[in-house]
């Protein structure tokens, strides 16, 4: 991981890591963190596509540092590429450490979403709604 000092993309969610989200070692479950990142990406994809979206892939997931109870988790979404019906976002998860207030990037991944219509089938993304 590079010495990146600022998040890349738009802040989509911010939440506190709670005791119920821990593994037996007291660290936050990676699956909980992954779900927060997916929620953030889903919000960004919905806003960018102008409607309903579904997650179709998660690639390049890298967990670099643990998240502790009481840390504030901030998820940022940055649009990387678009197609006719799909969008890929780089999602970064950063923490604001509960005791030191130091901000650190803890993980990142690329999440791909497909825009779908009321029938549940892929729909074209209107170019006028796309936000980069």
Q: What is the DSSP letter of 93?
A: E
| Domains of the chain with bracketed CATH | 10-124 (3.10.129.10)
pLDDT tens over the chain, length 132 residues = 456 889 999 999 999 999 999 998 889 999 999 999 999 999 999 999 999 999 999 998 889 999 999 999 999 999 999 999 999 999 999 999 999 989 999 999 999 999 999 999 999 998 876 655
The rounded Cα 44 to chain-centroid distance in angstroms is 9
Q: Cβ(86)–Cβ(48) under 8 Å?
A: no
Q: In the prediction, which pLDDT does 130 show?
A: 61
């Amino acid at each position: 991981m590079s010495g990146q000092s600022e998040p890349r993309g738009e802040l989509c969610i911010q939440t506190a890591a709670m005791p119920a989200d821990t593994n037996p070692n007291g660290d936050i479950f990676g699956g909980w963190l992954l779900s927060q990142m997916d929620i953030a990406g889903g919000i960004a994809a919905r806003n960018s596509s102008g409607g309903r979206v579904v997650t179709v892939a998660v690639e390049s997931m890298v967990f670099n540092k643990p998240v502790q109870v009481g840390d504030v988790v901030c998820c940022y979404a940055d649009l990387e590429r678009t197609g006719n019906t799909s969008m890929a976002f780089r999602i970064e998860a950063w923490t604001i450490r509960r005791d030191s207030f130091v901000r650190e990037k803890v993980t990142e991944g690329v999440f791909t979403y497909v825009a779908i219509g009321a029938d549940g089938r892929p729909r074209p993304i209107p170019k006028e709604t796309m936000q980069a």
